[in-house]
Chains A and B, each alone.
Chain A
Amino acid sequence: MPECKSFQETIFDYIDGLLPTGARKDVVKHLEECPDCSEIYENVMQVRWQLRNLNSIKVSPDFETVLRTRISMERSLSRRGFLNRPIKIPVYAATGALAFLAAFFILNLSDKKLSNNSTPLNVPPTFSSSQFSTNQAKPGSQNTWQQINYPMDRLNMSGGTSINSSRLERQTSALADSVRKIVPEGRIQPVGVEF
């Protein structure tokens, strides 16, 4: 029918329940007479019903723990003044500090998380002073030392060697991103948006 094109908009208002009674009656009448519009109407109603009834997903169980960890990392950074002096910190210093914190949190958390995992962990549960002082020439502890020194390298390794808590790693590198963002002189592209 020729008037169908302009009628479509009215059909959508009808679907959304935005039409006054008189106009509603016109729509019903047209739908009864016009197979094309009536097909569109039926399809849209069905699709809309499907969309409303899509299965909902839920955040993973450690969502809030990860969030709290990230917030306390930020708070400890800002307490040290990192977050309040945007221009002065070179990007490597900020990421270095962050990397260390990140390593600390990851090692602690994933150790807890993976404690019943069969994969052997090469990672010390906490940093004890002996690990820092006695590792020099011992081949066995060298690995540990490297892990402490270059946590970001490890973060970027896909299928990482000793930690498989990839989500927390991603979250932590996201935090690294946000630190880069507040260090504008770094050549890394700013992330995030204004709102």
Chain B
Amino acid sequence: MVEEFGSSSQSKQSGARDKRPSDEDLIERFQKGDLYAFDLIVKRYKDQLLNFVYRFVGSQEEAEDIVQETFLRVYRKRKAYKRIAKFSTWIYTIAGNLSRTELRRRKRRKLFSVTDMGYEDRDYEISDDEYNPENHVEGVIQEEIIHKEINNLSPKFREVIILRDVQELSYEEISKIIRVPIGTVKSRVNRGRLKLQGRLKYLMKKM
């Protein structure tokens, strides 16, 4: 089964020599033991996934842990990936699942409220910026308000809003990542957008 893939992917690679390898080529190379291909996958996805998870769970530190765990799972479960799916869909599914687990665990333990905790952190960051030009401070504060309002959405709206409006994935891919029908994704995105515009319109009027 490995050999079968080997010949086809090699001919593909020689056909497109100067193009960068696709994600799917990389994971296939990694499945055959090429650790360098795994490194390339990490480089390609680390920041993109971090931004998705960060907006989803709200804390940068936890987001980084989750992205670490995501890559560890890609490493461990590399054989589970089949080329019929896009690699990006697979890795986003893993990261999304881990994020949701983290949110559930947090809720169960009720150690702290997500938004309160995030808020304190951010107040700190904002005060660090006091010496910068005023418009920058305003931009930072505005960004923090938006981040907070994303966090105030319930997870099922938050996740699709991030995937669609922050990361700009297609409805089709989002539907595959979170495994719900496209129609449901759309209606969640739309309801999320409605909520967000309602909560942020005071901010928009200032602009």
- What distance in Å separates the Cβ of A50 from its nearest Cβ neighbour in chain B? 6
Q: Is A170 an interface residue (CB 8 A)?
A: yes
Inter-subunit contact B143/A55 (CB<8 Å) = yes
- CB of B194 within 8 A of CB of A44, answer yes
Q: Are A167 and B61 closer than 8 Å at their CB atoms?
A: yes
Q: Is there an interface contact between A57 and B47, defined as CB atoms closer than 8 Å?
A: yes
Q: Are B51 and A67 in contact (CB under 8 A)?
A: no
Main secondary structure of the interface of A (DSSP, over half): helix
Interface string of B29-47 (1 = CB under 8 A from A): 0000000000100110011
A54 part of interface (Cβ distance < 8 Å)? yes
Q: What separation, in Å, do the CA atoms of A167 and B200 have in the docked complex?
A: 34
Hey, which chain B residues are within 8 Å of A50, CB to CB?
142, 146, 200
The 18 listed contacts between A and B (C-beta, < 8 Å) are A12-B189, A12-B190, A43-B200, A44-B194, A48-B193, A50-B142, A54-B166, A56-B47, A59-B46, A59-B50, A63-B67, A67-B42, A70-B68, A74-B72, A74-B75, A167-B61, A193-B100, A195-B73
Query: Beyond the given A42-B204, A74-B72, could you list 20 further A-B residue pairs with CB under 8 A, ordered by the A residue number?
Result: A12-B186, A39-B201, A44-B194, A44-B197, A47-B193, A47-B200, A50-B146, A56-B47, A56-B51, A57-B50, A57-B51, A59-B47, A63-B64, A63-B67, A71-B72, A170-B65, A171-B68, A191-B101, A193-B101, A195-B94
Query: How many Å from the CB of A182 to the closest CB on chain B?
Result: 10
The 3 closest A-B pairs by CB, nearest first: A43-B197, A51-B165, A193-B97
A: residues with CB less than 8 A from B are 8-9, 12, 16, 39-40, 42-44, 46-48, 50-52, 54-60, 63-64, 66-67, 70-71, 74, 167, 170-171, 174, 178, 191-195
Number of interface residues of B (CB under 8 A): 51
Decide: A47 and B196 in contact? CB cutoff 8 A.
Answer: yes
A67:B72 contact, CB within 8 angstroms: yes
User: Which residue in chain B gives the minimum CB-CB distance to A51?
Assistant: B165
**Contact indicator A47/B64 (Cβ below 8 Å):** no
Nearest Cβ in chain A — how far from B59, in angstroms?
11
Docked CA distance A171–B61 (Å): 11
Q: Which residue of B lies closest to A50 (CB)?
A: B146
- Distance to closest chain A CB from B37 (angstroms): 14
Q: Of the candidates B101, B150, B190, which one forms a contact with A8 in the assembled complex, judged by CB atoms under 8 Å apart?
A: B190
Q: Is the CB of B51 within 8 A of A64?
A: no
For the complex, give the distance between the alpha carbons of A57 and B55 in Å. 10
Do residues A63 and B68 form an inter-chain contact, with CB atoms below 8 A? yes
